[in-house]
Amino acid sequence: MDARKGHYPYQARLDAYGNLGFRFAEMSHRGSLLCLPTGMHAWAVTGPDELTLDAFAPVLAVADRLEILLIGMGETFRPLPAALKQAFRDHGIVAEPGSTGSMARTYNVLFAEERAVGAALIAVADAGGR
């Protein structure tokens, strides 16, 4: 990952999450993460209250390459605000919220199936036994 830009140029499988970060492609990233067709990107969001249309600008920029966006809301599930859900729908993306752990695991399954999937994952302290 280019530490200056917080960007790894390839979409990758997640090897681990927790301890306020993620591991993928034999490296570690501290903080929240966007997993997109354009690669793995540092994401400044630290909690569900920061989920705004602006926070998802990088996702919407590649909407034509995504079918599903998994949104890890942190340690527990929170519903996605209706305005955000509609914005994704308007761009042809199915947005599915859940806990970061469940969305990270689902992302790996869909990524392995070579689906047009992306993930927006808020970093969590506890990996929930993973």
One-character DSSP codes across 10-71: S---EEEEETTEEEETTEEEESEEEEETTEEEEE---SGGG--TGGGHHHHHTGGG-SEEEE
Give residue 4's pLDDT: 45
Q: What is the CATH number of the domain that holds 15?
A: 3.40.1230.10
Q: What percent of the chain has pLDDT over 70?
A: 94
Evaluate if residue 26 carries a pLDDT over 50: yes
User: In which domain, by residue range, is 37 found?
Assistant: 7-121
d(CA 84, CA 7): 24
Counted domains in the chain: 1
Tens-digit pLDDT profile for residues 86-98: 999 999 999 999 9
Q: Examine residue 130 and state whether it is found in any structural domain, yes or no.
A: no
